[in-house]
Amino acid sequence: MKRFENKVFVVVGGNSGIGLAAAQLAAAEGAQVVITGRDETTLQRAAEGIPQSAYYRADIADPQAMQPIADAIKQRFGRVDALFVNAGVGGFAMVDQVTPEMWDQVNDVNCKGAFFAIQAMLPLMSSDGGSIVLTGSIGATLAIPGNVSYAASKAGLRAVARILAKELLPRGIRVNMLSPGPIETPLLYRNPGMTEADAAALKEMMISNIPMGRMGASEEVAKTALFLASSDASFINGVDLAVDGGCIEL
């Protein structure tokens, strides 16, 4: 069964990792897919591999950046049925090392950027079963040393999700969050200030703390995003669903 036939599915942060997997799966389920991100090369490559897709470049750290994208989507597709706000950046530093610039870099994308991306897209959202899914992190809940700015940004996003879930329900729009545990994506290797050896050590530490004994795959998170975005989740609003191999639950 194709759950997204005749639907427009937008993935903010759709050219890598979890977002790319979600874009590919949504297309396989019949959606017209729009992906956004910052990197022109990976955006173009990703869109070439996805039927019925379009891509737009926008750095959501600029709160104005998604407005022209929303205008372009309106002109080309007319509306948005599912919005997956997945873009995020990491930022590992122990408390003494965190600078205001590092704090802002993470928060400007993960929380503020995500919020203003949603605000820009809202006028396009279908009130007939429209759905927004946000990517949080179990890092928002766990006390992981070195993760303070990232955890705070994702905890803020969790608050955004809960309030939007209430505010937007009268408009027929459901809002949910999924919170991945450690997932094998390029993110781990993109932490500013983290060497390859640091990343390898962090990965080993993470795996040792995952009850399932392995990292998750992008597709496992993407399938959860599609479920929450689809009418299969029609009675689900305001949840934060962990996709983490049992880290939070156990």
Ligand X SMILES: NC(=O)c1ccc[n+]([C@@H]2O[C@H](COP(=O)([O-])OP(=O)(O)OC[C@H]3O[C@@H](n4cnc5c(N)ncnc54)[C@H](OP(=O)(O)O)[C@@H]3O)[C@@H](O)[C@H]2O)c1
Q: What is the set of active-site residues?
A: 150
146 CB neighbour count, 10 Å cutoff: 18
* Separation of alpha carbons 173 and 209, rounded Å: 36
Least Cβ distance, residue 235 to ligand X (angstroms): 25
Residue found by looking up tokens 């990491």 in the block = 90
* Helical (H) or strand (E) element with 250: none
Q: Which two tokens stand for residue 244?
A: 């983490």
Q: Which of 10, 26, 54, 60 binds ligand X (CB under 6 A)?
A: 60
- Residue 228 CA: distances (Å) to CA of 4, 9, 149, 239: 12, 13, 27, 9
Least Cβ distance, residue 46 to ligand X (angstroms): 9
Quick check: 48 binds ligand X (CB under 6 A)? no
Cα angle at 249 between 245 and 250, to 5 degrees?
90
Report the chain's C-alpha Rg in angstroms. Answer: 17
Residue found by looking up tokens 């040393």 in the block = 145
Complex with ligand X: residue 172 or 186, whichever CB lies closer: 186
Stretch that binds ligand X, among 17-25, 93-101, 191-199, 225-233 (CB under 6 A): 17-25
Least Cβ distance, residue 67 to ligand X (angstroms): 14
Binding to ligand X (CB under 6 A) within 186-245 occurs at 186-187, 190
Stretch that binds ligand X, among 32-40, 75-83, 122-130, 234-242 (CB under 6 A): 32-40
- Binding flags for ligand X, 134-163, as an x/- string (CB under 6 A): -x-x--------------------------
Q: Which two tokens stand for residue 175?
A: 């809002």
Stretch that binds ligand X, among 86-94, 124-132, 165-173, 233-241 (CB under 6 A): 86-94
- Residue 40 CA: distances (Å) to CA of 43, 59, 158: 5, 11, 29
Least Cβ distance, residue 53 to ligand X (angstroms): 14
Binding to ligand X (CB under 6 A) within 156-195 occurs at 180, 182-183, 185-187, 190
Complex with ligand X: residue 31 or 126, whichever CB lies closer: 31
**Cα-Cα end-to-end distance for the chain:** 34
Least Cβ distance, residue 54 to ligand X (angstroms): 15
